[in-house]
């Protein structure tokens, strides 16, 4: 997206949500445009309803039920394949009333609901072909290619289909024609003239879940893009490319990507690492083209969003590269209320929250599962509520309930297909009431410690993934780390060692109740903003730029610890000609877990780190503060299958009261801690009454 487009906005991102009535909005009113409220922040408390899956006579009931549940934003896809009648021919309600998306949005507007619009092109939504027209996915010019030049097939119910190529010029021409049709009907409904306040750019862009290192994309347009990346990366120096690839005959014009993992030593890795980096570049450039097409369609001047699916850390989705063309990088959440899923949720959400807080944007859960599709493992009501509350505990500031209103190919939404709330809708309503009373969107979870994962380690793990066509993201979703999913040889050992080093500190920090967050090396500045102690895994390869950023952080006063050994290769796994200058950085080999615990204990005293201890250790605590640093909310999380009586210590708290049921008795204090009864698979949200200062 151009810098000019970023400056002229009807709606702006704000750390607490979306800013309405500011910037370009004020200028429009001053120039005689529509009036409206003064500048104010809209919290992103959203729910999804799919208009085309309901009779129009039921639209109003569904929207009313969402509003009554406490939601203030409607989220909806606009499915390309459903609206298209033929090439260049669309039905937006002219023939079929249930396709009148403009009327649906106007009904939402009349109820005071703002809208996040998601026109694809990929929307998934459990639709055949993920919402892309059949004629497009079967057009060979649009198809992603395997190493042998065949279509890349996604074995998805109800029918397998060939996935589009993010590099295909023909596919992007088709997308632009679709967006032009959407823009012609809906651009008039952008805020402040209508309810649309944010747009999604594509959906879950993990290469349509065919994201193995050598699954795709060998489309001719992708190969050309790969060669352009090599020219830029090696600054046009073909001799440098030949040295890196150990191939005296390769050139920028002839370079062909690897089609399988065949490295025999670390010296063979750069060619594979370049291909993995290209996957990130492919997605970033694809999203840029899609974002530009949205803007050109008349749907510009609004913030844009893209949602990363489960397992995003093991995919080619690079938040830093995507952010060049998409304003808000969000996450999807479909987790169970179990200790293993809790750990994954903690890592994902704290990384998202740290990055967004450092970038002055709201941490957003673009899809927080309320139910599940029938061909997935079941998620019950407790799973869905636990996931939402725990994600809020670890820093999420806004969310979209997917689905708020049930429809075909979905089970377990809080509102039924007729727009009638189910009994457990009351639990969402009570949670929403607690968030509003506490002004939760304005609070923050302070995390003075950051655990940094360099992008090179994540790329190396993708390259050395040991299970062939089984996507690395699946192992990440299931909680498996590099040790469980990577090759059992020296090539993968730096990734395994780096992750083990970070996990040792994670466990030590949790044991002492020190709040921390993960951060990606590619978003280091935003992800570590305000950190007092930064721990970065540096085994194996690492970019010189990240080493420089670590040293800068140390010079600015942060304590910076690296380990388990200094990097001996660059980000492409090329051996360093000379060691990096790591002056000012503390090297910690970390021989065992006891050493991590000892170092954490020392840092608590040296850096005056906050601690929020909780007992037993399979219950977790997160505390949120206001702008003045006063603790206001405590989340006590029990992902286990048994009820627990937890002892929690919250410094400065005079009392704790249930935020969801404000009439309940105060939580009892015994000795120096509060005793909180937490039912199985539940998060208790407690209002903190501070002691007088």
pLDDT tens per residue, range 580-622: 999 999 999 987 889 999 999 999 999 999 999 999 999 999 9
Q: Are 595 and 500 in contact (CB under 8 A)?
A: no
CATH superfamily of the 614-690 domain: Golgi alpha-mannosidase II (2.60.40.1180)
Query: Domain 449-607 - what CATH class?
Result: alpha beta
Q: How far apart are the first and last CA of the chain?
A: 48
Examine the pLDDT at 381 and tell me if it is beyond 50.
yes
- DSSP secondary structure letters along 366-424: EEEESSB-TTS----HHHHHHHHHHHHHTT--EEEEETSB--TT-B--SB-TTSPBPTT
Residues of the chain above pLDDT 70, percent = 97
Q: Are 639 and 338 in contact (CB under 8 A)?
A: yes
Of 94-98, 251-255, 440-444, 490-494, which gets the smallest average pLDDT? 490-494
Number of residues written out for the chain: 693
Question: Coil, helix or strand for 26?
Answer: helix
Tell which residue, 310, 309, 306, has the closest CA to residue 321.
306
pLDDT-derived band at 469 (thresholds 50, 70, 90) equals confident
Q: Give the angle subtended at the CA of 659 by the CAs of 63 and 61, to the nearest 5°.
A: 10
Q: What is the pLDDT of residues 116-170, one digit of tens each?
A: 999 999 999 999 999 999 999 999 999 999 999 999 999 998 899 999 999 999 9
Tell which residue, 365, 263, 356, has the closest CA to residue 308.
365
DSSP one-letter code for 466: S
- Sheet with 682-690: strands ordered across: 620-625, 631-638, 682-690, 653-658
d(CA 244, CA 275): 13
320's tokens:
């830093």
Residue bearing tokens 């780096």? 498
Q: What is the mean pLDDT of residues 424-440?
A: 97
> Per-residue b/e over 656-685, b at no fewer than 16 CB within 10 Å?
bebbbeeeeeebeeeeebbebebeebbbbb
d(CA 49, CA 59): 9
> Per-residue b/e over 292-306, b at no fewer than 16 CB within 10 Å?
bbbbebbbbbbbbbb
Torsion-angle region of 490 (φ positive above 0: left; ψ -120 to 50: alpha; else: beta): alpha
Question: Coil, helix or strand for 117?
Answer: strand
Residue 574: C-alpha distances to residues 173, 228, 250, 265, 540 (Å): 39, 20, 17, 11, 10
d(CA 171, CA 133): 11
d(CA 13, CA 323): 13
Q: Is the pTM of this model over 0.75?
A: yes
Question: Coil, helix or strand for 114?
Answer: strand
pLDDT of residue 25: 57
Mean per-residue pLDDT of the chain: 95
pLDDT of residue 32: 40
Q: What is the pLDDT of residues 511-546, one digit of tens each?
A: 999 999 999 999 999 999 999 999 999 998 999 999
Torsion-angle region of 301 (φ positive above 0: left; ψ -120 to 50: alpha; else: beta): left
pLDDT-derived band at 1 (thresholds 50, 70, 90) equals very low
Q: What is the pLDDT of residues 646-684, one digit of tens each?
A: 999 998 899 999 999 998 999 989 888 999 999 999 999
Residue ranges of domains in the chain: 1-40, 41-131+166-211+285-442, 449-607, 614-690
Residue bearing tokens 């200094």? 566
Within 10 A of 252 (CB to CB), how many other CB atoms are there?
16
Residue 142: C-alpha distances to residues 87, 167, 212, 312 (Å): 14, 9, 20, 25
d(CA 344, CA 333): 10
179's tokens:
């967006």
Q: Are 36 and 25 in contact (CB under 8 A)?
A: yes
Q: What is the 3-state secondary structure (H, E, C) of 547-590?
A: HHHHHHHHHCCCEEEEECCCCCECCCCCECCCCCCCCCCEECCC
pLDDT of residue 7: 53
pLDDT-derived band at 6 (thresholds 50, 70, 90) equals very low
Q: Are 207 and 308 in contact (CB under 8 A)?
A: no
Among 3.20.20.80, 1.10.10.10, 3.30.870.10, 1.10.287.610, name the CATH number for the domain at 41-131+166-211+285-442: 3.20.20.80
Counting runs of H as helices and runs of E as strands, what totals does the chain give?
21, 28
Q: Are 70 and 432 in contact (CB under 8 A)?
A: yes
DSSP one-letter code for 360: T
Q: 36 or 467: which carries more pLDDT confidence?
A: 467
DSSP one-letter code for 55: -
β-strands 114-118, 196-200 pairing: parallel
d(CA 68, CA 542): 51
pLDDT of residue 23: 57
């Amino acid at each position: 997206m151009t810098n000019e487009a970023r400056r002229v906005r009807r709606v702006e991102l704000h750390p607490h949500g979306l800013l309405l009535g500011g910037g370009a909005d004020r200028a429009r009113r001053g120039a005689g445009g529509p009036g409206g409220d003064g500048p104010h922040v809209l919290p992103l408390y959203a729910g999804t309803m799919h208009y085309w899956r309901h009779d129009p006579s039921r639209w109003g009931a569904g929207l009313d039920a969402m509003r009554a549940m406490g939601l203030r934003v409607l989220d909806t896809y606009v499915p390309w394949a459903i609206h298209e009648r033929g090439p260049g021919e669309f039905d937006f309600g002219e023939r079929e009333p249930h396709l009148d998306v403009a009327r649906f949005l106007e009904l939402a507007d009349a109820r005071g609901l703002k809208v996040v619009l998601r026109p694809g092109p990929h929307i998934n939504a459990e639709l055949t072909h993920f919402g892309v027209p059949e004629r497009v996915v079967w057009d060979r010019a649009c198809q992603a290619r395997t190493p042998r030049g065949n279509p890349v097939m996604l074995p998805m119910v109800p029918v397998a289909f060939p996935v589009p190529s993010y590099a295909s010029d023909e596919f992007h021409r088709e997308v632009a024609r679709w967006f032009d049709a959407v823009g012609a009907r809906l651009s008039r409904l952008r805020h402040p003239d209508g309810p649309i306040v944010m747009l999604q750019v594509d959906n879950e862009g993990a290469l349509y879940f065919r994201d193995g290192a050598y699954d795709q994309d060998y489309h001719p347009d992708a190969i050309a893009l790969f060669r352009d990346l090599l020219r830029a990366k090696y600054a046009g120096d073909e001799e440098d490319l030949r040295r890196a690839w150990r191939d005296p005959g390769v050139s920028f014009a002839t370079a062909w990507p690897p089609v399988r993992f065949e490295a025999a030593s670390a010296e063979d890795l750069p060619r594979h690492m370049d291909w993995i980096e290209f996957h990130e570049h492919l997605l970033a450039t694809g999203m840029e083209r899609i974002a530009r097409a949205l803007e050109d369609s008349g749907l510009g001047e609004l913030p844009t969003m893209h949602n990363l699916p489960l397992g995003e850390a093991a995919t080619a989705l690079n938040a830093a590269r995507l952010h060049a063309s998409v304003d808000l990088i969000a996450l999807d959440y479909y987790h169970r209320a179990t200790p293993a899923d809790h750990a994954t949720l903690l890592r994902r959400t704290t990384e998202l929250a740290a990055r967004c807080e450092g970038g002055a944007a709201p941490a957003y859960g673009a899809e927080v599962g309320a139910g599940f599709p029938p061909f997935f493992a079941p998620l019950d009501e407790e799973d869905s509520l636990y996931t939402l509350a725990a994600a809020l505990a670890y820093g999420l500031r806004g969310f979209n309930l997917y689905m708020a209103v049930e429809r075909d190919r979905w089970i377990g939404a809080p509102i039924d297909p007729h727009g009638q709330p189910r009994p457990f809708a009351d639990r969402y309503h009570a949670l929403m009431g607690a968030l509003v009373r506490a002004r939760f969107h304005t609070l923050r979870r302070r995390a003075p410690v950051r655990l940094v994962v360099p992008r090179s380690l994540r790329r190396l793990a993708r390259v050395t993934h040991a299970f062939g066509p089984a996507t690395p993201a699946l192992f990440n979703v299931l909680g498996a780390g590099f040790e469980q999913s990577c090759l059992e040889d020296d090539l993968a050992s730096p990734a395994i060692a780096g992750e083990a080093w970070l996990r040792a500190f994670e466990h030590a920090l949790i044991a002492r109740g020190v709040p921390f967050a993960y951060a990606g090396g590619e978003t280091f500045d935003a992800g570590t903003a305000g950190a007092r102690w930064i721990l970065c895994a540096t085994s194996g390869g690492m970019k010189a730029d990240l080493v420089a950023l670590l040293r800068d952080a140390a010079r600015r006063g942060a304590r910076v610890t690296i380990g388990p050994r200094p990097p001996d290769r660059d980000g492409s796994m090329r051996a360093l000609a000379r060691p990096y200058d790591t002056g000012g950085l503390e090297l910690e080999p970390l021989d065992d877990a006891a050493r991590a615990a000892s170092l954490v204990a020392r840092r608590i005293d040296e850096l005056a780190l906050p601690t929020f201890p909780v007992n037993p250790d399979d219950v977790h605590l997160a505390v949120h503060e206001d702008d003045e640093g006063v603790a206001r909310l405590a989340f006590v999380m029990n992902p286990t299958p048994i009820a627990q009586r937890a002892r929690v210590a919250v410094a400065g708290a005079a009392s704790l009261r249930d935020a969801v049921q404000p009439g309940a008795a105060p939580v009892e204090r015994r000795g120096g801690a509060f005793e909180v009864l937490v039912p199985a698979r539940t998060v208790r949200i407690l209002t903190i009454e501070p002691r007088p200062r």
